[in-house]
Amino acid sequence: MEELNAAAEDPDLWNDPARAQGLLKERTRLDHALGACRALDQRLDDGLVLLELGEAEEDAASVEEAEAALAALQADAGKARLESLLAGEADGNDCYLEVNAGAGGTEAQDWAEMLLRMYLRWAERRGFKTAWLAESPGEEAGIKSATVEIKGQNAYGWLKIEAGVHRLVRISPFDSQSRRHTSFASVSVSPVIDDTIEVEIEEKDLRVDTYRASGAGGQHVNKTDSAVRLTHIPTGIVVQCQNDRSQHRNRAQAMAMLRARLYEAELKRREEEAQAQADEKSDIGWGHQIRSYVLQPYQMVKDLRTGVEKGNAQGVLDGDIDDFLAGALAAKVTGERAVNG
């Protein structure tokens, strides 16, 4: 922090705006982390002082209050420890989150929309900002696919572990015979990357398609071919953007998304190579289910990687997923340490 403060006082700093913004962003991140640690230290001191006074004066109410405060402090310190595990090179970045419905028509499309809403509610709880970038609506209900940008400290670090297949079991509201259905939707997450990370994309490797937006965006985008779809031919990665009336701005946003997807693919390649060295390679693809959401005949959400369970399924679908994120993050870091020896 001292080094960053000294650098921020350099009168020539803003001759390079990108460097200046990066420096200030890192200083803000460190300031937040240090402030959180100092606050925990102060709460610990206050709790111990209250406990000592209560015991000295044989004041049971003060002792009980101090013990409750220290228990709450322990829980918050655990959360802070998890935050400190978000040390990947892109963990502090914003992210793009894409949800795709699996096979199953309206059932799966409705589930994809429910899943996307869950992440939007989670982001809202944390005070993160969200922006809708692209949507392919379902024929009757829900969405075939949608992409949103989630902006907030460590957004990518928290949500990257949500990549995979999510399974829903419920009595179908679209089945006249009220039968139980199983639906699937997949989630992919990529970091928003800045200019300090170089990702080369050659024009010859791109296929560019324009089309009329079919989702939200106003009358203008529905009357012109403003939406842009980019296909990276060597990898088969496809991104699209339709949130702006300008085809030029949609293309620029789509290029940023493509750079993020290619960067994420490289991070996954490195991770898979490290896991392969310890014979622990995990196929994170369409067949890899990470979580099961059961609404009938009972309510239960279970993470299949960590065993974390919650009986309040509706609360989870309203964005209460921190326990799952924390469990998966801790397991992931422990696994990486094992792989790296």
232 lies in the same domain as 341? yes
Task: Tell me: pLDDT of 33 over 90.
Answer: no
Which range (136-150, 157-171, 214-228) has the least confidence?
Answer: 214-228
Does the pLDDT of residue 294 top 60, yes or no? Answer: yes
Is residue 42 located within the same domain as residue 66?
A: yes
pLDDT of 176-203, one tens digit each?
Answer: 777 888 999 999 999 888 665 677 788 8
Top-confidence residue, 273 or 90: 90
pLDDT at position 142 is 93
Is the pLDDT at 221 greater than 60? The verdict is no
Nearest to 294 by CA among 179, 166, 178, 170: 170
Strands 164-171 and 289-294: parallel
Domains: count for the chain: 2
Q: Are residues 181 and 158 in the same domain?
A: yes
Examine the pLDDT at 76 and tell me if it is beyond 60. Answer: yes
| Burial of 316: CB neighbours in 10 Å, binned 0-12, 13-18, 19+ | buried
**Do 43 and 171 sit in the same domain of this protein?**
no
Range of the domain at 36: 2-84
192 and 108 fall within a common domain: yes
Q: What is this structure's pTM?
A: 0.70
Return the pLDDT at 26.
83
Residues 139 and 219 in one domain: yes
- CA–CA gap between residue 119 and residue 122 (Å, rounded): 5
* CATH number of the CATH domain containing 42: 1.20.58.410
Same domain for 79 and 104, yes or no, is no
Q: Which CB contacts under 8 angstroms, 24+ apart, belong to 319-322?
A: 319/118, 319/119, 319/120, 319/121, 319/122, 319/123, 319/124, 319/125, 320/122, 320/125, 321/118, 321/122, 322/122
Q: Are residues 30 and 101 in the same domain?
A: no
**Residue 145 · residue 99 · CB < 8 Å:** yes
Sign of the CA dihedral running 165, 296, 147, 126: negative
Same domain, yes or no, for 80 and 100? no
215 and 101 both lie in a single domain: yes
Check pLDDT > 60 for residue 225: yes
Q: Are residues 9 and 112 in the same domain?
A: no
pLDDT band at 122 (very low <50, low <70, confident <90, very high): very high
Least confident of 75-89, 185-199, 209-223, 285-299: 209-223
CATH number for the domain including 320? Answer: 3.30.70.1660
72/114 same-domain check: no
* Residue 125, pLDDT score: 94
The mean pLDDT of 214-230, rounded to a whole number, is: 61
Q: Domain ends where: 55, 84, 113?
A: 84
The per-residue pLDDT for range 242-270, each reduced to its tens digit, is: 888 888 889 889 988 998 888 888 877 77
